[in-house]
């Protein structure tokens, strides 16, 4: 009884903890109340793209610094090229959200216009990219935290894993709750970067803008780049910087995938959010790069070796701060609280970037599960109307990446953006085909003009994103992008395999041309009651079997110990039970195999007969009692499940321990 009470207590505590962490379950008819206004949708869906300004400029400067200080003067021009692509992609996706507002995003566009294989290719790229988004953003946030709090240095991995788990928990509470919780930090980040840009520009034009602390250091070019950006190697380095900076475009597609989460009018609100995202991102990227050039910020991949002070490497003890931190220390020199605030909100926005993936991945996973490309469980909403299984899957994948790559952004960034540009390119190609098809049937002149304009925008987007994809593949393939491509291939094959399985099961279970055949009754029912000894559970099983009025009813036991079988026969005859007892020989003292053999022999003799096997089972109340009872029954049921034409009926007998546990569970 005490064990039953303990089990119920543990169950109650677990349920109370779940309610404390996730909140009370939400009724399905409350789904409309979880939709987001634009002011909340911006931090929910655009924080990924906004956060990329915290590391995309760093990657541009870091890559150009390979060729020394002279190469970094090209950083604003590389940034401008990134901004041009960003503007075109934002304009292109504004067409997408109007044409396909159902939430399928790039997957739906590619599937409808290019075919299912293209759609699955896009989906695999996006799923991998969402996992990488969480890993990169959280790892970058952990590095910012370590810069602001020296005590955290060396603990970036456990810190990042903890943040991923926290984000998963918040999102399990629901989309609207997570958006409301993260709106303030996102807007603080916008205000901080906006203030940094305005104050820095004013001080630059007034001549009071100082140089960054790292401006006093020399940058040692890597071997082969002593002459700067000359020749084919210099051109490839610029392209590599452009490819790294293109990480600023990640997250744009999240809005097109999340259109159903917007309030009505959904498409218009999503398009407006995209426009706000484009304006903010382009402003911040160019402001950071221009201020970094004005203050002569130096940022390299290996500071201990590449940065020199008086011709001597600075060594392992030197701590290199991210570009935004260096700029805030220069622009707000002497205002320590402001500098700390900039570092704090930048770290927070990097965490929120992962939150964008926590909203995009589960929605896309739900759509793919609905279409049969992922397990059905991903299509189910949890207690709080969030796609809980998708959230947990994303968190697990990100934690594996963070642990495998030691939370190093420079290593993870090489895997990044490949997937998103695969989806960008196929999506834009799909949209061009969409407008071509629509133009063939649209008679109205104004509508045709609008469609041609949209097609032009998507065609330009196709050209630019396709070019960037080629550049990314050429410049990053050997530096780690091949891992992302391999992961996309594995996910693609996995999804195709899942779809083939579901299709095969559906064909196998279909009623066919003659549904009446599926309702055909068996010729006879052959009932078997398994008997180990004659006691109350056996008598109940016999009574249940007789009540079903089978064509044939017999009791079956296995002869393991001859003396026990003889005693059972005598007791059976003495009670004059109206059921024949059949004894199966077992020379090797097995129980499962003789019964399986006997059942199969019945099926061979009468293939149209249905065999029903009644198995008496104990219902126990203590966890340890499961180890002492029902083991033979469980093994036998597991084997009988694979035998066609056989039904297994469990006949429960509740022991006193189970009755006590049930009574404890019913008490308030």
Per-residue pLDDT reduced to its tens digit, 116-131:
999 999 899 889 888 8
Alpha-carbon distance of 190 to 348, in angstroms, equals: 12
Residue 412: cis peptide before it, omega within 30 degrees of 0: no
Alpha-carbon distance of 104 to 323, in angstroms, equals: 36
Q: Which helix (H) or strand (E) holds 489?
A: helix 481-509
Distant-in-sequence, close-in-space partners of 638: CB < 8 Å, separation ≥ 6: none
What's the pLDDT score for residue 660? Answer: 60
Alpha-carbon distance of 175 to 170, in angstroms, equals: 9
DSSP state of 36: B
The series of mean pLDDT values per 10 residues for the chain, 668 residues long, is 42 49 50 62 74 82 78 82 88 81 78 90 89 83 74 82 86 60 80 91 90 83 66 76 80 74 80 87 90 87 80 80 88 86 82 77 86 84 68 90 80 73 87 88 86 88 86 78 86 92 79 58 84 88 91 90 87 89 84 89 87 87 68 82 87 75 50
pLDDT, one tens digit per residue, over 8-19 is 444 444 455 545
Task: Give whole-number Cα distances, 258 to 58, 101, 269, in Å.
Answer: 29, 9, 11
Among 450, 433, 420, 498, smallest CA distance to 125 is for 420
> Are 134 and 164 contacting, i.e. CB atoms less than 8 angstroms apart?
yes
- Edge-to-edge strand list for the sheet holding 646-654: 580-585, 552-559, 525-530, 610-619, 646-654
The structure's pTM equals 0.69
Alpha-carbon distance of 75 to 102, in angstroms, equals: 39
> Are 286 and 79 contacting, i.e. CB atoms less than 8 angstroms apart?
yes
CA R_g for the chain: 33
Alpha-carbon distance of 80 to 86, in angstroms, equals: 10
Long-range contacts of 18-22 (CB under 8 A, 24+ apart): 18/383, 21/169, 21/172, 21/173, 22/169, 22/172, 22/173, 22/382, 22/383, 22/384
What's the pLDDT score for residue 632? Answer: 77
Kindly give the residue spans of alpha helices, DSSP state H, lying in 295-441: 303-306, 323-331, 336-370, 388-404, 409-412, 418-439
Among 528, 540, 633, 636, smallest CA distance to 582 is for 528
Q: In angstroms, how far apart are the furthest CA atoms of the chain?
A: 112
Domains and CATH numbers, the chain: 47-502 (1.20.1740.10), 518-666 (3.40.50.620)
Question: How many residues are present in the chain?
Answer: 668
Alpha-carbon distance of 330 to 295, in angstroms, equals: 8
CB neighbours of residue 668 within 10 Å: 2
Task: Give whole-number Cα distances, 224 to 40, 227, 237, in Å.
Answer: 49, 8, 11
Beta bridge partners of 585: 559
Tokens of 187: 């807007």
> Are 10 and 367 contacting, i.e. CB atoms less than 8 angstroms apart?
no
Between helices 156-172 and 388-404, what is the axis angle to 10°? 170
253-279: buried (b, 16+ CB within 10 Å) or exposed (e) per residue?
Answer: bbbbbbbebbeeebbebbbbbbebbbe
Task: Give whole-number Cα distances, 76 to 60, 64, 72, 79, 544, in Å.
Answer: 9, 11, 9, 5, 83
> Are 7 and 623 contacting, i.e. CB atoms less than 8 angstroms apart?
yes
CB burial of residue 657 (10 Å; 0-12, 13-18, 19+): middle
> Are 63 and 421 contacting, i.e. CB atoms less than 8 angstroms apart?
no
Tokens of 438: 């629509």
> Are 378 and 386 contacting, i.e. CB atoms less than 8 angstroms apart?
no
Alpha-carbon distance of 465 to 424, in angstroms, equals: 6
Alpha-carbon distance of 637 to 537, in angstroms, equals: 17
CB burial of residue 236 (10 Å; 0-12, 13-18, 19+): middle
Alpha-carbon distance of 84 to 148, in angstroms, equals: 33
**What is the sign, positive or negative, of the torsion defined by CA atoms of 84, 90, 96, 102?**
positive
Alpha-carbon distance of 402 to 394, in angstroms, equals: 12
| CA 236 centroid distance within chain | 34
Tokens of 543: 């009574």
What's the pLDDT score for residue 598? Answer: 92
Query: What dihedral angle (degrees, nearest 10) is formed by the CA atoms of 531, 535, 541, 542?
Result: 80
Tokens of 659: 């009755």
Alpha-carbon distance of 62 to 82, in angstroms, equals: 16
Q: Is 549 helix (H, G, I), strand (E, B) or coil?
A: coil
Q: Which helix (H) or strand (E) holds 495?
A: helix 481-509
Alpha-carbon distance of 340 to 346, in angstroms, equals: 10
> Are 61 and 297 contacting, i.e. CB atoms less than 8 angstroms apart?
yes
Question: Scanning the structure block, which residue is given the tokens 């504004």?
Answer: 94
């Amino acid at each position: 009884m005490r064990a039953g009470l303990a089990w119920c207590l543990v169950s109650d505590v677990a349920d109370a903890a779940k309610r404390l962490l996730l909140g009370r379950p939400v009724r399905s008819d409350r789904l409309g109340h979880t939709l987001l206004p634009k002011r909340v949708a911006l931090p929910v869906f655009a924080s990924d793209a906004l956060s990329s300004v915290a590391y995309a400029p760093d990657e541009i400067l870091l890559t150009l610094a390979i060729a020394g200080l002279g190469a970094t003067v090209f950083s604003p021009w590389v940034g401008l090229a990134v901004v041009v692509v960003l503007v075109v992609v934002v304009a292109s996706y504004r067409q997408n959200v109007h044409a396909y507002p159902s939430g399928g995003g790039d997957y739906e566009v590619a599937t409808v216009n290019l075919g299912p294989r293209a759609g699955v290719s896009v989906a695999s790229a996006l799923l991998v990219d969402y996992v990488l988004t969480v890993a990169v953003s959280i790892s970058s946030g952990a590095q910012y935290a370590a810069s602001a709090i020296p005590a955290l240095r060396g603990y970036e991995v456990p810190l990042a894993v903890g943040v991923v788990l926290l984000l998963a928990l918040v999102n399990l509470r629901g989309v609207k709750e997570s958006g409301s919780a993260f709106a303030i930090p996102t807007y603080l980040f916008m205000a901080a970067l906006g203030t940094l840009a305005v104050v820095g520009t004013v001080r630059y034009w007034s001549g009071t803008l100082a140089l960054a602390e790292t401006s006093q250091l020399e940058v040692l070019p890597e071997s082969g780049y002593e002459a700067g950006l000359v020749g084919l190697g210099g051109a490839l380095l610029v392209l590599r910087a452009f490819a790294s900076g293109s990480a600023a475009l990640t997250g744009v597609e999240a809005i097109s995938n999340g259109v159903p989460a917007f309030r009505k009018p959904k498409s218009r609100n999503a398009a407006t959010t995209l426009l706000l995202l484009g304006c903010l991102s382009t402003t911040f990227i160019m402001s950071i790069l221009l201020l970094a050039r004005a203050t002569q910020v130096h940022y390299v991949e290996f500071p201990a070796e590449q940065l020199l002070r008086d011709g001597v490497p600075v060594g392992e003890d030197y701590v290199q701060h991210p570009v935004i931190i260096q700029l805030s220390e220069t622009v707000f020199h002497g205002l320590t609280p402001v500098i700390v605030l900039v570092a704090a909100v930048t770290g927070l926005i990097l965490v929120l970037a992962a939150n964008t993936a926590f909203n995009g991945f589960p929605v896309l996973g739900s759509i793919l599960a609905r279409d049969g490309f992922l397990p059905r469980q991903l299509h189910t909403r949890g207690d709080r109307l969030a796609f809980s299984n998708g959230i947990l899957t994303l968190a697990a994948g990100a934690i594996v990446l963070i642990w495998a790559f030691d939370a190093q952004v420079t290593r993870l960034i090489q895997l990044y953006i490949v997937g998103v540009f695969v989806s960008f390119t196929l999506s834009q190609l799909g949209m061009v085909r969409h407008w071509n098809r629509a133009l063939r049937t649209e008679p109205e002149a104004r509508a045709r003009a609008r469609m041609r304009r949209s097609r032009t925008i998507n065609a330009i987007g196709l050209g630019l994103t396709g070019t960037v994809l080629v550049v990314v593949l050429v410049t990053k393939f050997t530096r780690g992008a091949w891992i992302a491509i391999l992961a996309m291939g594995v996910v693609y094959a996995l999804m195709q395999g899942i779809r083939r399985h579901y299709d095969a099961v559906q064909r196998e279970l279909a009623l066919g041309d003659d549904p009446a055949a599926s309702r055909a009754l068996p010729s006879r029912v052959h009932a078997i009651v398994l008997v180990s000894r004659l006691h109350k559970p056996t008598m109940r099983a016999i009574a249940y079997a007789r009540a079903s009025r089978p064509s044939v009813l017999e009791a079956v036991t296995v002869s393991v110990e001859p003396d026990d079988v003889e005693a059972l026969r005598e007791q059976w005859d003495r009670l004059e039970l109206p059921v024949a007892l059949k004894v199966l020989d077992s020379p090797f003292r097995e129980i499962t195999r003789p019964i399986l053999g006997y059942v199969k022999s019945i099926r061979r003799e009468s293939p149209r007969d249905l065999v029903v096997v009644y198995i008496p089972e104990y219902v126990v109340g203590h966890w340890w009692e499961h180890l002492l009872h029902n083991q033979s029954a469980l093994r036998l049921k597991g084997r009988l499940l694979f035998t066609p034409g056989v039904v297994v009926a469990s006949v429960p007998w509740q022991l006193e321990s189970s009755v006590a546990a049930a009574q404890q569970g019913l008490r308030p």
